[in-house]
């Protein structure tokens, strides 16, 4: 059965952003009014309270995910990543309205709010894609000191610019290699268009059951990105102090002697798109690939 946002219960939309962007108040209010006209209650994080005024009730992020049946991300891809991680434990779908730059994984451009695209999603059918997430754990002295989830990627790198890192890697308990590089990127298929792409990693179909390991400026030219089945656990032992960043969020310190365990998360993100969403068309547009489907093209 084709999903419909109108079927979600309760009809409560949680507007999420890290901060309110100057000059976007009118767009935010128009989006809130589109929901309210259809009987939705609009909630928002405190950062959007002033912009939305009486149109929304403020909630802290955890309460927003609890009380909403749909999260609405208002920003760029980074904002959507935050909303997806927030909503994943409660299986909340996330609708992204792009107010940022690239917008690889947001569903609607700003003009869709005024042009009827948002209302079309609210009134008609939609596509909800389940996306794999990654998990990062830091073990210190055999005790877990950090665990976090990522929709895009986990980055492990040296804090000092110009200093090479030594990393011993094991996959599924078996020794893989000892890497010398500036760091590594552990990416989901969704995150293959992010940092992974900029360090020479492969582009991956969003539904592919894999995870990707790409090195950042490896010292040995024969080191190449690895595509691993998503049931494998990658364990990294850094030879010195490093930093771990998840989906671009503020990095956490990793010490020499720690173990960093990277794996598929048991959580999944749910992203809302229009029924005809084509990720390859998005790539063609964002990356400037040439060509267009011919009129007589057959899949």
Which residues carry out catalysis?
A: 77
Residue 264, both tokens: 């598929």
- Cβ distance 235 to 252 under 8 Å? no
Mind giving me the DSSP string for 39-73? T-EEEE-GGGHHHHGGG-EE--HHHHHHH-SEEEE
**3-state SS string over 159-198?**
CCCCCCEEEEEEECCEEEEEEEECEEEEECCHHHHCHHHH
For residue 142, the SS3 value is coil
Question: Which residue is listed with tokens 């771990």?
Answer: 244
Q: Where are the alpha helices (DSSP H) in the chain?
A: 25-36, 49-52, 61-67, 77-87, 110-115, 117-123, 195-198, 279-287
Contacts for 282 with CB less than 8 Å, ≥ 6 apart = 104
């Amino acid at each position: 059965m084709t999903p419909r946002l109108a079927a979600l219960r309760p009809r409560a939309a949680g507007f999420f952003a890290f901060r309110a962007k100057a000059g976007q108040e009118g767009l935010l209010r128009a989006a809130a009014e589109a929901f309210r006209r259809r009987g939705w209650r609009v909630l928002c994080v405190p950062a959007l309270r002033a912009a939305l005024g009486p149109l929304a009730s403020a909630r802290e992020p955890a309460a927003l995910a609890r009380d909403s049946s749909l999260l609405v991300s208002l920003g760029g891809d980074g904002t959507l990543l935050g909303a997806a991680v927030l909503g994943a434990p409660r299986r909340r779908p996330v609708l992204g309205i792009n107010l940022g730059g690239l917008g690889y994984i947001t569903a609607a451009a700003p003009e869709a709010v005024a042009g009827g695209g948002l209302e079309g999603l609210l009134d008609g059918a939609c596509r909800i894609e389940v996306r794999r997430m990654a998990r990062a754990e830091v073990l210190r002295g055999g005790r877990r000191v950090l665990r976090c989830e990522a929709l895009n990627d986990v980055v492990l790198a040296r804090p000092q610019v110009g200093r090479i890192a030594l990393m011993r890697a094991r996959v599924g308990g078996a020794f893989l290699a000892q890497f010398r590089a500036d760091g590594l990127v552990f990416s989901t298929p969704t995150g293959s268009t992010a940092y992974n792409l900029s360090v020479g990693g492969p582009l991956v179909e969003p539904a592919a059951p894999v995870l990707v390991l790409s090195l950042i400026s490896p010292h040995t030219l024969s080191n190449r990105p690895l595509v691993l089945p998503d049931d494998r656990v990658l364990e990294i032992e850094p030879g010195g102090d490093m930093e771990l960043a998840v989906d671009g969020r503020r990095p956490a310190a990793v010490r020499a002697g720690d173990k960093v365990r990277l794996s598929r998360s048991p959580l999944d993100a749910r992203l809302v798109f229009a029924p005809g969403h084509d990720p390859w068309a998005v790539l063609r547009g964002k990356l400037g690939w040439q060509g267009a489907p011919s009129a007589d093209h057959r899949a």
